[in-house]
Structure 1
Amino acid sequence: MVLRTESLESGYMDERTINMDEVPELSSGWREFARDFVPGMDRPEHCHREAQLLYAQKGVMLVRTSDSVRLIAPFQALWIPAGVRHSISFLADTQMRSLYFSDDALHRLKHLNDRVRVLAATPLIRELFSALFSKKVPPATALLMTNLVLRLVVEAEELGAALPIADDEAFGPLQSEILSRRLWSMTMEEASSRLSLSPKTFSRKFNRALGMTWRDWMARARLCASLDLLLSGRTLKDAAFGAGYADQATFTAAFRKLFGTTPGAMQKSARRA
């Protein structure tokens, strides 16, 4: 099967091939779930008998599993294998959409269920989610669309630009507060004082827990948080200021370095979807 896919950055179309032998045809074994959340709401720790494809049509959420905490913003999707315990915290008005797939439906995709994955929610995936959850699609058509979503997930790019959140009682709550209140001006000295640590000790422990420096994490957090502003229809200038940047040009350069596309191109793609 050959799919024509749209490039976020260039707007041109290219082609790629999906191996149909690797992807099952769903006839059953899937279901959907949609719910909107406001900032401060949580879904306590739980697990599902099915694998879950989790997507924020709008908003930002923190998903905690036993081994890590991941921030999921628009243009990202999260694959959670069956039986993986997780909890979710919502940092903004969020439209959460999920598709669930049973073991029987995924019996030929065992490799997909070996771990949690942060995936790129391409324009086509976003458009399919939007249509599936509009409730205007006949059941037979919804089945075809769900099959296509699963095929796209098999080939989806795994994102290395995810934002790590510490799963402990010190750094984790501090990071969540920074994200929810957009405390981009907080210095490492201020952060270490909050935790009653010296800056040197804070830096060492933070690097060990997160795998990056405080400065690098703050830079990435600002850019990840800007995704929600872009999707909500704010101007590029507002998104830049909301992410703590003094000017749009600096914001655009940093955004492109992390995500591989410009904020303007990403916003236009979201509008088309």
Structure 2
Amino acid sequence: MSTKRQSRPSTQVPPWREVPVPALRQLPWPVVARSQQLAAGERFPPHAHAWNQLVFATDGVLQVSAAHARHVITPQQALWVPTGTLHHTGALGAAAFRNLYLADDAAPDMPDHCVVLEVSALLRELIVELDRTTADHDPDYYLTLCRLITTQLRRQPRHLLHLPWPQDARLQRWCQTLHDHPGDERDMAYWANRLGASTRTLSRHFERETGMTLRAWRTRLRLLRAIEWLAQGRSPTVIAHELGYASASAFNYMFRVEMGISPLQWRRTR
């Protein structure tokens, strides 16, 4: 009896289609909310704001490149992007999110670097309420919401989970290849020969630019790709195969070590 082989989901990132950054010259209020949807494969071009930004995922998975690192934002999470930080946001699948734009003096205690925040149910509802409130009709209530939001922002748990991205053009191309094919097992010696450098030189250069060994960087890459795919509904078994693990149990072990819970437990929390 023959069996029909199921096609594997592609790990290749599709060509991005850039969409314009919404025009906003200044902030009329200390905090401004804006809803946004992105279709699969859409992203904004690299840009920076004269104010802070909170990118809050409400549905789908967002991929944000900012400050020489890549971040994966799933529902119930947000990325804090400080004033003047060059960044761009994209969606591999259809996604919806709310942006908060915050003046510097509205959030003086927030960090001066990008950080992923967990978003509590209370903060989520405050953001939704701000988005549907017309400031000019009830300025006192609007400003109260602004103060509550900035107070809550300081109370959200923070994560340092990000993927450092090199600035050297050759290393960028290499890292992009590994990002698109996270199951690639070719070692440093192969890539050193491919890039025209000694293994020692390439290893030293990579660690200087990313602050991580290749082994640690690959583990972080696979973890973040796993989070993307779990949020998209893929099974841990399929993900383990795509990431190059010999078995689902090996993938589950890595995920538990890094996240403290199993892949299925993580998905249930989302």
TM-score by structure 1 length? Answer: 0.71
Is the CA contact 1:73–1:227 (under 8 Å) kept in the aligned structure 2? Answer: no
Paired amino acid for 2:82: P
Q: Which residue of 1 aligns with 2:121?
A: 124
Is the CA contact 1:61–1:94 (under 8 Å) kept in the aligned structure 2? Answer: no
Q: The residue matched to 1:30 in structure 2 has which SS?
A: strand
Q: Which residue of 2 aligns with 1:172?
A: 172
Pairing 1:111-150 to 2, within 5 Å after superposition: 111-112=109-110, 114-122=111-119, 124=121, 128=125, 132=128, 139=133, 150=150
Distance 1:234 1:110, change over 3 A: same
Q: Which residue of 2 aligns with 1:185?
A: 185
Paired amino acid for 1:52: Q
TM-score by structure 2 length? Answer: 0.72
Is the CA contact 1:92–1:180 (under 8 Å) kept in the aligned structure 2? Answer: no
Q: Which residue of 1 aligns with 2:242?
A: 242
Pairing 1:10-49 to 2, within 5 Å after superposition: 29-39=31-41, 41-49=42-50
In structure 1, how many angstroms separate the alpha carbons of the residues matched to 2:80 and 2:192?
34
In structure 2, how many angstroms separate the alpha carbons of the residues matched to 1:184 and 1:128?
42
Q: Using the TM superposition, give the Cα deviation of residue 206 of structure 1 relative to its aligned residue in structure 2, in angstroms.
A: 0.9
Q: Tell which deviates more after alignment, 71-80 or 211-220.
A: 71-80
Is the CA contact 2:54–2:100 (under 8 Å) kept in the aligned structure 1? Answer: yes
Note the residue ranges of structure 1 that are not aligned, 5 or more in a row.
1-26
Is the CA contact 1:236–1:263 (under 8 Å) kept in the aligned structure 2? Answer: yes
In structure 1, how many angstroms separate the alpha carbons of the residues matched to 2:92 and 2:43?
11
Q: Tell which deviates more after alignment, 257-266 or 196-205.
A: 257-266
Is the CA contact 1:61–1:92 (under 8 Å) kept in the aligned structure 2? Answer: yes
1:147-197 per-position Cα deviation (integer Å, ceiling 9, x unaligned): 765444312222233221112312123212321333432322232233221
In structure 2, how many angstroms separate the alpha carbons of the residues matched to 1:167 and 1:63?
13
Q: The residue matched to 1:266 in structure 2 has which SS?
A: helix
Note the residue ranges of structure 2 that are not aligned, 5 or more in a row.
1-28, 135-140
Say if 2:218 is the partner of 1:213. no
Paired amino acid for 2:228: D
Is the CA contact 1:78–1:116 (under 8 Å) kept in the aligned structure 2? Answer: no
Distance 1:108 1:148, change over 3 A: closer
Paired amino acid for 2:247: D
Distance 1:122 1:31, change over 3 A: closer
Q: Which residue of 2 aligns with 1:8?
A: none
Q: The residue matched to 1:139 in structure 2 has which SS?
A: coil
Q: The residue matched to 1:78 in structure 2 has which SS?
A: strand
Is the CA contact 1:128–1:145 (under 8 Å) kept in the aligned structure 2? Answer: no
Is the CA contact 1:42–1:87 (under 8 Å) kept in the aligned structure 2? Answer: no
In structure 2, how many angstroms separate the alpha carbons of the residues matched to 1:102 and 1:222?
33
1:93-128 per-position Cα deviation (integer Å, ceiling 9, x unaligned): 25252422332xx6353121x512222334638965
In structure 2, how many angstroms separate the alpha carbons of the residues matched to 1:95 and 1:247?
30
In structure 1, how many angstroms separate the alpha carbons of the residues matched to 2:248 and 2:53?
37
Is the CA contact 2:53–2:102 (under 8 Å) kept in the aligned structure 1? Answer: no
Q: The residue matched to 1:219 in structure 2 has which SS?
A: helix
In structure 2, how many angstroms separate the alpha carbons of the residues matched to 1:191 and 1:125?
48
In structure 1, how many angstroms separate the alpha carbons of the residues matched to 2:266 and 2:51?
31
Paired amino acid for 2:215: R
Q: Percent of aligned pairs with the same residue?
A: 20
Distance 1:46 1:210, change over 3 A: same
Is the CA contact 2:64–2:72 (under 8 Å) kept in the aligned structure 1? Answer: yes
Distance 1:100 1:108, change over 3 A: closer
In structure 2, how many angstroms separate the alpha carbons of the residues matched to 1:55 and 1:187?
37
In structure 1, how many angstroms separate the alpha carbons of the residues matched to 2:228 and 2:147?
28
Q: Which residue of 1 aligns with 2:93?
A: 93
The structure whose Rg is larger is 2
Give aligned pairs, total: 233
Distance 1:138 1:211, change over 3 A: closer
In structure 1, how many angstroms separate the alpha carbons of the residues matched to 2:146 and 2:238?
36
In structure 2, how many angstroms separate the alpha carbons of the residues matched to 1:128 and 1:33?
14
In structure 1, how many angstroms separate the alpha carbons of the residues matched to 2:189 and 2:123?
40
1:25-57 per-position Cα deviation (integer Å, ceiling 9, x unaligned): xx8631213131434x55333222331111444
Distance 1:59 1:126, change over 3 A: farther
